[in-house]
Each structure stands twice: as structure tokens, then as C-alpha cells.
Amino acid sequence: MIRVANLHKSFRGQQVLKGVNLDLATGKITTIVGTSGCGKTVLLKHLNALYLPDDGAVFVDGVDITKLAQNDLYRIRSKFGVLFQGAALLDSMTVFDNVAFPIREKTKTSETDIKTKVNERLEQVGLGAMGGKFPAELSGGMKKRAGLARALIMDPEIVLFDEPTTGLDPVLATSIHQLISRTQEAFGFTGIVVSHTIPQVFEISDFVAMLANGIIEEVSPPDKFCASQNPAVQQFIHGKTEGPIQVL
């Protein structure tokens, strides 16, 4: 469903992606791991064309989304839900309105149906009683849950998770992982998770892809990933400073 081909991206002369090739399996969760600042979020933001590459392509259902006009791109983006690193809730709205926002803007659904669907999603992420609160009144974990509810409200085929557990305590991180896994089973979306919370994130992943030095070093199921003899993978898993991964 999603194929990344020879993706290059640089910012102010610094090359972040140096020819990324990656196939993301439909209906599965693929986790992209790598050191901080290696370009995981940059790669993720190319998947729905929030960033455009200097060179290369991103195919979604066979369409190169990097070359689409805005209207066509927005049609493709309607297939995506995104959970941003800081949840990116609109801070002028309540949690309920944030979750309802995409339906109100993109469809003509009645307020009664919106209320039912939003409350259902909020219940699923454990925020049933929090609809009336503003994002500023929520903890980090609650914001992520609200962001997840918003990402899932349009029943997307693909969901992007940008570091969903960064900054959370281990208990909360596990609960977010379980939530991602549970919702993926319930909705069957293709999930792409960017994370460096290993090994916990492996439990919810069908595949793990490792980004290092601007390219994908390894893609494999979690058990094979951990057993990989790739020096970059071994360096990352064991947290060594010596090895092929350039550490700043």
C-alpha cells in the first residue's frame, strides 16, 4: 500500500535522508526505529506529503503523492490519521471538539451522530469523561490519547504515530502501546510507528525498520530484528557509542 523509493531530503545543506527505500505492509504495524535526530519524523512526514522530498517518491496505493496537486493530495490524505509527537490538539477547542473537528469539517454528519461517534472513540481511549476539558488541562498521556481518538475518528486506512510514548512514564508508555495494538486489531489500519522506545515497542510491531545514516539498514519482524547480525542494528539495540551509526 505504501512504498518509499529512493527518498532524499536535506535541510539547510544537511542531508537527513540519503536514499530511503521501504515497503510498508498493509494492515500491519511497522515501527521505524533509530537514534534521536536520525530523520525518523522527517521520513514519517513524507508518508503523507507533509514534507516533500528533494528526490525520490512515496507511493500510496500506487500513486506518487509527492507530485500531486493539492486537491488530489487532500483526497489521499483523507486515508490517513496522524498522532503527532505532542498530540497537536487545537488548543482553542475542547477535547470533544478536537475529536469531532475532522468530521465537522470534512463531512455533513449530523451533530447527534457526531456526538455518538466521538463519545465512542473517547471511551475507547479511556477519556470518556474528559470531553469537556481543554488540552491545556490534560496530562501528557491524556493528550496522546485524545490525539489518538482524533486520528481514528475518520476510520483511516493508515495511521502514522510520531513517537507516541516519548516523555511518558513506563506504565503510561505500555498503556499507549496496548491502546495502539488494540485499536489496530479493532480497525485493521496500517500502522506506522516512529519510536526509539525499545524493546517495548517490538511487542506491538509486525515489522521493525531501522533508519540510520540516512538509509533503512534493516526491515524484519521483531524477533529477527533482534537477532540480526547487522552491526548498525546491534549497535542500536545495545546502545553502544562505537559502531557504524554516527553519533553526534
Residues that bind other proteins (CB under 8 A): 45, 48, 50, 70, 74-75, 77-78, 80, 82, 84-86, 88-91, 101-102, 105-106, 154, 160
Rounded CA separation 140/172 (Å): 10
Torsion angles phi and psi, residue 206, rounded to 5: -85, -35
Q: Which residue's CB is nearer to other proteins, number 78 or number 246?
A: 78
Q: Which residue's CB is nearer to other proteins, number 150 or number 212?
A: 150
Closest alpha carbon to 212 in 80, 33, 2: 33
Q: Which residue's CB is nearer to other proteins, number 84 or number 225?
A: 84
Q: Which residue's CB is nearer to other proteins, number 157 or number 217?
A: 157
Q: Which residue's CB is nearer to other proteins, number 5 or number 88?
A: 88
Residue 170 beta carbon to other proteins: minimum distance, rounded to whole angstroms: 25
Report CA-CA distances (Å) from 214 to 34, 56, 104, 141: 10, 13, 39, 30
Bridging pattern class, strands 158-162 and 63-64: unpaired
What's the grid cell of residue 219? 526491515
> Which are the contacts of 248, defined by CB distance < 8 A and separation ≥ 6?
37
Q: Cell 513524507, residue?
A: 46
Residue 70 beta carbon to other proteins: minimum distance, rounded to whole angstroms: 7
Bridging pattern class, strands 63-64 and 215-220: unpaired
Residue 162: which region, alpha, beta or left (left: phi > 0; alpha: psi -120 to 50)?
Answer: beta
Within a 10 A sphere around the Cβ of 178, how many other Cβ atoms?
Answer: 12
Q: Which residue's CB is nearer to other proteins, number 127 or number 198?
A: 127
3-state secondary structure of 136: helix
Residue 90 beta carbon to other proteins: minimum distance, rounded to whole angstroms: 6
Which secondary structure element, helix H or strand E, spans residue 119, and what is its range? helix 111-124
Report residue 128 CA to chain centroid gap. 23
Q: Which residue's CB is nearer to other proteins, number 7 or number 151?
A: 151
